[in-house]
């Protein structure tokens, strides 16, 4: 599945031109198909391969959307995902994802990992960020299985991220924050507060199941 993300943003980074044109890229999970953790070499290989795909009619896939900021199989709880270093080395822009369906303690570690990543990589990392998504399909999962996060939780997490950036990552203040969810989640009245809280809407399109939308 690939992702076309248009972000309404106006911050001065090297990713700005890509944001204005629409960022074309893929979604990348933290694990491989066999369940093993993806590491630096896995991400670097995928990012590089995405730029050289055949049959793309001149389009270049130069962006990566992530679901978490924490490395799978991490040795420390807030270890930044190795995709960040791979993105720097392959000049791949990043839509950061913060996992929002595992409770407050885990979300705190997601936030801390951002500060650690900035300390480790500096502007080489920050200049590749095209946005931050607080969660992915949490509203949908909450409504269908009770295993996601509801609107109040997502709004709370967005507020915490805004406060964290203001207090700990001031150079990130213009980076636009969003949430990604399904069409069916976005149109539910009980989720209207999330729509108001974000700077742009992230939409998971599932054509096979939503052919009538």
Residue 70 pairs in a beta bridge with 80
pLDDT band at 191 (very low <50, low <70, confident <90, very high): very high
Query: What separation in angstroms does the CA of 158 have from each of 55, 66, 117, 177, 206?
Result: 38, 17, 19, 8, 25
Per-residue pLDDT band for 10 (boundaries 50, 70, 90) equals: very low
Q: Above 50 in pLDDT, residue 4? A: no
Residue 187 CB neighbour total at 10 angstroms? 11
User: Which pLDDT value is given to residue 77?
Assistant: 87
Whole-prediction pTM: 0.88
Distance CA 127, CA 49 (A): 22
Residue 162 C-beta-side C-alpha neighbours within 13 Å: 12
Whether the predicted pLDDT of 3 surpasses 60: no
Joined tokens for residue 151? 């609107």
Least confident of 7-11, 48-52, 99-103, 170-174: 7-11
pLDDT, tens digit (0-9, with 9 covering 90-100), for 69-91: 999 998 888 999 999 999 999 99
| Rounded mean pLDDT, 3-29 | 58
Q: Is the pLDDT of residue 68 over 80?
A: yes
Q: How confident is the model at residue 7 (pLDDT cuts 50, 70, 90)?
A: very low
User: Is residue 206 predicted with pLDDT exceeding 60?
Assistant: yes
**Mind listing the domains of the chain with CATH numbers?**
2-204 (3.20.20)
**String of b and e for 64-84 (b: at least 16 CB within 10 Å)?**
bbbbbbbbbebeeebbbbbbb
Integer CA distances (angstroms), 139 to 184, 188, 195, 200, 209, in order: 9, 10, 12, 16, 17
Report residue 120 as tokens: 């480790």
Give yes or no for a contact between 130 and 23, defined as CB atoms under 8 angstroms apart.
Answer: yes
pLDDT of residue 6: 37
Task: Give the pLDDT confidence score for residue 24 in this predicted structure.
Answer: 92
pLDDT higher than threshold 80 for residue 211? no
């Amino acid at each position: 599945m690939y992702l076309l993300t248009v972000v309404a943003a106006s911050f001065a980074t090297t990713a700005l031109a890509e944001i204005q044109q629409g960022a074309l890229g893929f979604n990348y999970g933290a694990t491989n198909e066999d369940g093993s953790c993806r590491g630096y070499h896995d991400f670097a290989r995928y990012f590089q391969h995405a730029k050289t795909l055949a049959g793309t009619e001149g389009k270049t896939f130069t962006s990566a959307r992530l679901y978490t900021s924490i490395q799978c199989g991490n040795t420390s709880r807030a270890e930044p995902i190795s995709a960040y270093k791979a993105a720097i080395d392959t000049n791949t822009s990043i839509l950061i994802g913060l996992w929002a369906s595992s409770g407050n303690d885990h979300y705190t570690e997601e936030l801390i990992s951002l500060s650690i990543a900035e300390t480790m990589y500096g502007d080489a990392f920050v200049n590749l960020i095209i946005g931050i998504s607080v969660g992915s399909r949490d509203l949908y999962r909450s409504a269908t299985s009770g295993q996601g996060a509801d609107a109040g939780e997502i709004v709370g997490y967005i507020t915490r991220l805004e406060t964290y950036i203001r207090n700990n990552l001031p150079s990130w203040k213009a980076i636009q924050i969003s949430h990604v969810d399904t069409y069916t989640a976005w149109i539910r009245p009980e989720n209207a507060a999330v729509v108001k809280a974000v700077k742009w809407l992230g939409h998971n399109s599932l054509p096979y199941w939503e052919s009538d939308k």
